[in-house]
Amino acid sequence: MTLLADALSCERGGLRLFDGLGFTLQAGTLLRVRGANGSGKSTLLRTLAGLTQPAAGTVLWRGKPRDDEFRGQMLFIGHAPAIKDDLTALENLEFSARLSRLTDFRFERALEQFGIGRLAHLPARHLSQGQRRRAALARLALSPGVALWLLDEPFAALDEHAIAGVSALCAAHLAAGGLLVLTSHQDVPIAAPDARLIDLGS
């Protein structure tokens, strides 16, 4: 499998964030994107996911434009937890998993894996920021068969134990031949057969 970005340029609010960005990622590759706030990290991830259109350039998945098949092979988790306050942690996970076309429905087990199983039936408004982040990231435990993971600041608001758990899931994903693109302001403690770095601030 291959994810290719060719001469990619992105804008936000009419402001050009970056120009001519290009890379080719193969199975087992980890790409970390770093840069100052406002440099375009989140915009790049949303563009790769097909949620934002580039100002110029092309993104290809397996040599073809992204289509419905691509959306079934991609998992995007944004910087904001996207958790609905009126739903429980379990209901939020069920909703987001079906929206992401995930077929593994072991929801409570996934929440337990992220250390919030006891909070599964609690409305999300009662969760801390770290717990809300764990509830969003629990989709990773349901996604071992999803080829491409796009994660925007996955370690934000997490404690050391949770960071270790997310890192282990990401390492297993890469070892199984998956692709991972993430943004992070901190060093990434993930074992990867092929690790790369793009700095949008340079």
The per-residue pLDDT for 192 is 94
Q: What's the CA gap between 124 and 176, in Å, rounded?
A: 33
Beta strand pairing call for 194-199 and 179-183:
unpaired
Residue 51 confidence class, pLDDT cut points 50, 70, 90: very high
pLDDT (mean) for 110-131: 95
> Which pLDDT band, with edges at 50, 70 and 90, does 189 fall under?
confident
| pLDDT of residue 174 exceeding 70 | yes
Token representation of residue 165: 């758990």
The answer on pLDDT for 176 being more than 90 is yes
DSSP 147: S
User: Strands (DSSP E) along the chain, which ranges?
Assistant: 2-12, 15-26, 29-34, 56-61, 64-65, 74-77, 148-152, 179-183, 194-199
Task: Kindly indicate the confidence band of residue 133, based on its pLDDT and cuts at 50, 70 and 90.
Answer: very high
Mean pLDDT of 55-76: 93
**How do residues 142-154 score in pLDDT, each as one tens digit?**
998 999 999 999 9
Per-residue pLDDT, 72: 87
What is the pLDDT, as a whole number, of residue 202?
A: 58
> 103 pLDDT exceeds 80?
no
Q: Considering the chain, what is the average pLDDT of its residues? A: 93
- The domains located in the chain, with CATH, are 1-73+148-202 (3.40.50.300), 84-146 (no CATH)
Q: What percent of the chain has pLDDT over 90?
A: 83
Interatomic CA distance for residues 86 and 124, integer angstroms:
6
The alpha carbon dihedral of 190, 191, 192, 196 has a sign of: positive
Q: State residue 43's pLDDT score.
A: 96
pTM of the model: 0.95
What pLDDT, on the 0 to 100 scale, is given for residue 100?
Answer: 82
